[in-house]
Structure 1
Amino acid sequence: MCGFVCLWNIGDEALASAMITRIAHRGPDAVAVVRAENAPVVMAHCRLSIIGPQDGAQPIYQGKDILVANGEIYNHADLRAILGESAFETKSDSETILHLFRTDALRWVSQLDGMFAFVLATPERIIAARDPLGIKPLYVATIGEGLAFASELKAFDGIEVASIRAIPPGSLFDSINGMRRWYRMPQGAAEAEPGLEEEAVWRELRLVLEDAVRKWMVADVEVGSFLSGGLDSSIIAALAARAAPYRLKTFSVGVEGSPDLVAARRVAGHIGSDHHEHAFTPADVAAVLPHVIYHLESADVDLVRSAVPTHFAAALARRHVKAVLTGEGADELFAGYTYHHAYVDRPRELADELTRSLGTMHNINLQRVDRVTMAESLEARTPFLDRDLIDFAQTIPATMKLRRTDPQGGDSTGPTTEKWVLRKACADLLPRELVWRKKAQFDEGSGTVEALGEALMIVTGASRPLDREEEAAVYERLLRERYADPDRILANAGRWESGRVALAG
């Protein structure tokens, strides 16, 4: 995990150094700036060492090619075996990118399995690519006749650029051949096919989940797990506790006595984790709010609300580990949000909405997870967004994800149960009352919404709670105060409610 900057046809090492300094929080273990001898490129990198900590320094400069990468390649051991171990000079998982490129295979980037963003330069061309869902960020800007790439928008702050945009998820940019989409989200299924055995579906889902968690725990350092006490993080933590060769460390935050803290404590006791928790106050929220918004690179109300507890969880976890697992993505895969209930009798629209929301996570919830954890030099991993798990989950009919039933099954007129198939697949992992606990947003279950209300009164000096419009204005003001070019940041920010599939009739 790390951050990087790359300048193509812009021979300015001082600029690269200034840009990497702005995102140095992403990699406190080492910082390097390198000008290539055989290519018109300057690369800068800040490193958080997770795999190959002894010899995995970047940029990776071999022959006439140079590479910077951010993220993790989880199938790097398999790729090494295929490509030939003798070709490798380091133990870094990122080096597999360079050797895959050199095979000259037409779709070489599709062989990478993980979360990643990278820029690779040769004397003739520059190539930049991003993982399927955009878990890892990557931006490109035009500066004069050259191109500048960076892991966060704040790297460009105060720099005159002609244009700036994100490399789309699952896309590859080639200075010779232009942009292409190498990954497309599979369309979600709506209705069950005739003869489908539901038990067979959730049993297979459990196996795919277990594989994903094991894969996303690959590291040369200990990996912990966020644990909110909700279904998603509890499932991940329970599976990780079984897979880890050490006692898993789990981390929970909330206001004193909040439902999340109570539930997380119960889950931790059940799975036997080494549990750590932190209770925050409205005064704590008020103190960190400018920091959170600056790093989030967004003033969207819903994102800020969920970013605040993420910040406290990340700060807590970083005192103990360098990497954590999170439950991000389960709501988008299995219909876990409250607004999904409106689609309960419209499986086609629900399947389409889940597919849409998966494709837009990169500048919404995934942006929150990446920016806020990396602000604390912590790597967040999202096993629910494993490619194999996504492929399988998208074949599960929407009627098995959200349905009218009670936990016992069979009542088609009962209350709407979200993530039904996921609950069935993991029913044996956790106490029954936790498996069937009703969904609460992270900001709700942790008590953040109430704490934020008081914190905003502290920040503004208001004598009454702020309404949503006033809350949004405060967040935007705090963002504008921290950036030389705040409009550029706001223009690239996503909105959590934008573009939802409409229900006809």
Structure 2
Amino acid sequence: MCGFVCLWNVGDEALAAAMIEKIAHRGPDAVAVTRAPHAPVVMAHCRLSIIGPQDGAQPIHQGDDILVVNGEIYNHVDLRAVLGESVFETQSDSETILHLSRTASRRWVSRLDGMFAFVLATRGRILAGRDPLGIKPLYVARLGGGLAFASELKAFDGLAVSDIEAIPPGSLFDSNGDMRRWFRMPQGAAEAETGLDEQATWRELRLVLEDAVKKWMVADVEVGAFLSGGLDSSIIAALAARAAPARLKTFSVGLEGSPDLVAARRVAAHIGSAHFEHAFTPDDVARVLPHVIYHLESADVDLVRSAVPTHFAAALARRHVKAVLTGEGADELFAGYTYHHAYVDRPRALADELTRSLATMHNINLQRVDRITMAESLEARTPFLDRDLITFAQSIPASLKMRRTDPSAAESTGPTTEKWILRKACQDLLPHDLVWRKKAQFDEGSGTVDALREALMIMEGAKEPLDRAAEGAVYERLLRARYRDPERVLANAGKWESDRVALAV
């Protein structure tokens, strides 16, 4: 896991060094700036060593090609076997990108399985690619007569750049052509076909989940797990505890006595993890809020609320491990948000909404997870967003995800259960009441909403809690105070509630 900068047709090593310094928190283990001798490119890289820690330094420079990568390629062992071990000079998973690009296949990037962003200068052109969901960030901007690439927007702050935009998820930028979309989100299924074997479906889902967790635990360092006590993180932690080579470390945060802390202790005891927790206070929230918003690169109210507990969890985990598993993606795959209940009698609309939200995670929840964990030099991994798991989950009818659970009740009034198929698939992993516990948002279960309310009153000297609009105004003010060019950051920020699939009246 890392951060990088690439300047194309901008021969300024000092500028690259200054840009990488702004995102050096992403990789404290090593920083390097390299000018390619046979191409108009300067690359800078800051490294957090996870796979191949002894010989995985970047930029990777072989022949006329030079490469920087952020992320993990989980099928690198298989790719090495296909490409031939003799062509490799290191044990780094990132090197597979270089050798794949040299094959005759035009769709070579689609063979990469993992979370990644990269820039490759080769044969007089530059290529920049991003993983299917956009788990790892990548931005491009125009700088003079050339291009500048960076892992975070703050690398561009104060520079005379223009047209900053994110490389879209699942896309490959080619300076000899244009942007090519190499991955498209599979459309979600709606109604169950007649005769569908529900038990066989959830049993297969369980197997796919187990494979995803094992794959996303591959590392040369210890991998822990965030554990909020909610369903998603508890499932990941329970499966990871079974697959871990040593006792799994789990991490939980919240206000003292909050539901998340209580539930997480129960889950940790049940799965036998070495559990660590931190209880924060409203004063703690007020202290870290400017730091969180600066690194988040967004002032969206919903993102800030969930970024605060993520910060405390990341700071706690980094004292013990370099990488953690998280439960992000389960709500988008299996209909876990409160607003999804309104779609219970509209499975086609629900399937479309889940598909839409998966495709837009990159600058919402995935941005939060990436920025806030990397601010603490911690790698976050999201097994629910494994490509094979996404493909299988999207084939499961939406009617099995959000489901009425009382067959005797009238169709329009019966209780509904979110993530029904996921709960069935994992019901043996956890205590029954935790498996069927109603979802609480991370910011709610951890007590962050209450802590933020009090923290904002402290910061603003207010006698009454701020309403949502006033809360958002504070966040925007804090963001503007930290950036020379805040409009660029705000222009690239996503909104959690934007463009939802409308329900027919």
Tell me which amino acid in the other structure corresponds to 2:433.
E
Give the corresponding residue for 1:284.
284
Give the corresponding residue for 2:128.
128
Residues 431, 148 of structure 1: alpha-carbon distance in 2 compared, 3 angstrom cutoff: same
Give matches, 1:306-325, under 5 Å. Answer: 306-325=306-325
Give the corresponding residue for 1:270.
270
Q: Distance between the aligned counterparts of 2:332 and 2:488, measured in 1? A: 28
**Residues 216-265 of structure 1: CA deviation (Å, up to 9, x unaligned):** 00000000000000000000000000000100000000000000000000
Give the corresponding residue for 2:401.
401
Contact (CA 8 Å) 1:51, 1:92: kept in 2 or not? yes
Q: CA deviation at 1:123?
A: 4.1
**Residues 256-276 of structure 1: CA deviation (Å, up to 9, x unaligned):** 000000000000000000000
Contact (CA 8 Å) 1:38, 1:123: kept in 2 or not? no
Give the corresponding residue for 2:428.
428
Give the corresponding residue for 1:387.
387
Q: Distance between the aligned counterparts of 1:104 and 1:250, measured in 2? A: 44
**Residues 132-169 of structure 1: CA deviation (Å, up to 9, x unaligned):** 00000000000111000000000000001121100000
Give the corresponding residue for 1:502.
502
Tell me which amino acid in the other structure corresponds to 2:491.
A
Q: Distance between the aligned counterparts of 1:461 and 1:485, measured in 2? A: 28
Q: CA deviation at 1:458?
A: 1.3
Tell me which amino acid in the other structure corresponds to 2:382.
T
Give the corresponding residue for 1:296.
296
Q: CA deviation at 1:195?
A: 1.5
Q: Distance between the aligned counterparts of 1:457 and 1:12, measured in 2? A: 46
Tell me which amino acid in the other structure corresponds to 1:294.
Y
Give the corresponding residue for 2:171.
171
Asked whether 1:110 is paired with 2:107, we answer: no
Q: Distance between the aligned counterparts of 1:313 and 1:464, measured in 2? A: 29
Give matches, 1:29-44, under 5 Å. Answer: 29-44=29-44
Gaps of 5+ in 2: none
Q: Distance between the aligned counterparts of 1:365 and 1:427, measured in 2? A: 26
Contact (CA 8 Å) 1:311, 1:372: kept in 2 or not? yes
Residues 304, 18 of structure 1: alpha-carbon distance in 2 compared, 3 angstrom cutoff: same
Give the corresponding residue for 1:453.
453
Tell me which amino acid in the other structure corresponds to 2:238.
A
Tell me which amino acid in the other structure corresponds to 2:151.
S
Q: Distance between the aligned counterparts of 1:441 and 1:58, measured in 2? A: 38
Give matches, 1:149-298, under 5 Å. Answer: 149-298=149-298
Q: 3-state SS of the aligned residue for 2:340?
A: helix
Give the corresponding residue for 1:326.
326
Contact (CA 8 Å) 1:130, 1:171: kept in 2 or not? yes
Give matches, 1:350-365, under 5 Å. Answer: 350-365=350-365
Give the corresponding residue for 1:91.
91
Q: CA deviation at 1:97?
A: 0.2
Q: 3-state SS of the aligned residue for 2:345?
A: coil
Bigger mean CA deviation after superposition, 12-21 or 412-421 = 412-421
Tell me which amino acid in the other structure corresponds to 1:155.
A
Q: Distance between the aligned counterparts of 1:122 and 1:83, measured in 2? A: 19
Q: Distance between the aligned counterparts of 1:412 and 1:199, measured in 2? A: 25
Q: Distance between the aligned counterparts of 1:291 and 1:123, measured in 2? A: 41
Q: Distance between the aligned counterparts of 1:236 and 1:411, measured in 2? A: 33
Q: Distance between the aligned counterparts of 2:336 and 2:274, measured in 1? A: 28
Q: Distance between the aligned counterparts of 2:251 and 2:504, measured in 1? A: 42
Tell me which amino acid in the other structure corresponds to 1:442.
F
Give the corresponding residue for 1:348.
348
Tell me which amino acid in the other structure corresponds to 1:70.
N
Tell me which amino acid in the other structure corresponds to 1:318.
R
Give the corresponding residue for 2:47.
47
Q: 3-state SS of the aligned residue for 1:224?
A: strand
Contact (CA 8 Å) 1:405, 1:412: kept in 2 or not? no
Q: 3-state SS of the aligned residue for 1:162?
A: strand
Q: Distance between the aligned counterparts of 1:162 and 1:366, measured in 2? A: 25
Tell me which amino acid in the other structure corresponds to 2:501.
V
Q: CA deviation at 1:194?
A: 1.8
**Residues 180-239 of structure 1: CA deviation (Å, up to 9, x unaligned):** 000000000000112110001000000000000000000000000000000000000000
Bigger mean CA deviation after superposition, 397-406 or 348-357 = 397-406
Give the corresponding residue for 2:368.
368
Residues 468, 90 of structure 1: alpha-carbon distance in 2 compared, 3 angstrom cutoff: same
Q: Distance between the aligned counterparts of 1:151 and 1:412, measured in 2? A: 51
Gaps of 5+ in 1: none
Give the corresponding residue for 1:148.
148
Q: Distance between the aligned counterparts of 1:95 and 1:123, measured in 2? A: 17
Contact (CA 8 Å) 1:404, 1:412: kept in 2 or not? no
Q: 3-state SS of the aligned residue for 1:250?
A: strand
Q: Distance between the aligned counterparts of 1:412 and 1:179, measured in 2? A: 50
Q: Distance between the aligned counterparts of 1:170 and 1:225, measured in 2? A: 26
Residues 50, 146 of structure 1: alpha-carbon distance in 2 compared, 3 angstrom cutoff: same
TM score, norm. by length of structure 2: 0.99
Q: Distance between the aligned counterparts of 1:119 and 1:145, measured in 2? A: 18
**Residues 343-371 of structure 1: CA deviation (Å, up to 9, x unaligned):** 00000000000000000000000000000
Contact (CA 8 Å) 1:40, 1:123: kept in 2 or not? no
Give the corresponding residue for 1:72.
72
Q: Distance between the aligned counterparts of 1:69 and 1:177, measured in 2? A: 21
Q: 3-state SS of the aligned residue for 1:66?
A: strand
Q: CA deviation at 1:100?
A: 0.2
Q: 3-state SS of the aligned residue for 1:394?
A: helix
Q: 3-state SS of the aligned residue for 1:203?
A: helix
Q: Distance between the aligned counterparts of 1:485 and 1:55, measured in 2? A: 38
Give the number of aligned pairs: 503
Q: Distance between the aligned counterparts of 1:351 and 1:334, measured in 2? A: 9
Q: CA deviation at 1:410?
A: 7.7
**Residues 433-484 of structure 1: CA deviation (Å, up to 9, x unaligned):** 0000000000000000000000001111112111101000000000000000
Q: Distance between the aligned counterparts of 1:169 and 1:90, measured in 2? A: 28
Q: 3-state SS of the aligned residue for 1:92?
A: coil
Contact (CA 8 Å) 1:171, 1:181: kept in 2 or not? yes
Q: Distance between the aligned counterparts of 2:22 and 2:379, measured in 1? A: 18
Tell me which amino acid in the other structure corresponds to 1:364.
I
Contact (CA 8 Å) 1:306, 1:443: kept in 2 or not? yes
Tell me which amino acid in the other structure corresponds to 2:162.
A
TM score, norm. by length of structure 1: 0.99
Give the corresponding residue for 2:472.
472
Q: 3-state SS of the aligned residue for 2:161?
A: coil
Q: CA deviation at 1:412?
A: 7.2
Residues 412, 87 of structure 1: alpha-carbon distance in 2 compared, 3 angstrom cutoff: farther
Tell me which amino acid in the other structure corresponds to 1:316.
L
Q: 3-state SS of the aligned residue for 1:312?
A: helix
Q: CA deviation at 1:113?
A: 0.0
Tell me which amino acid in the other structure corresponds to 1:322.
K
Bigger mean CA deviation after superposition, 78-87 or 457-466 = 457-466
Q: Which runs of 4+ in 1 moved over 4 A?
A: 409-413
Q: CA deviation at 1:56?
A: 0.2
Tell me which amino acid in the other structure corresponds to 2:503.
L
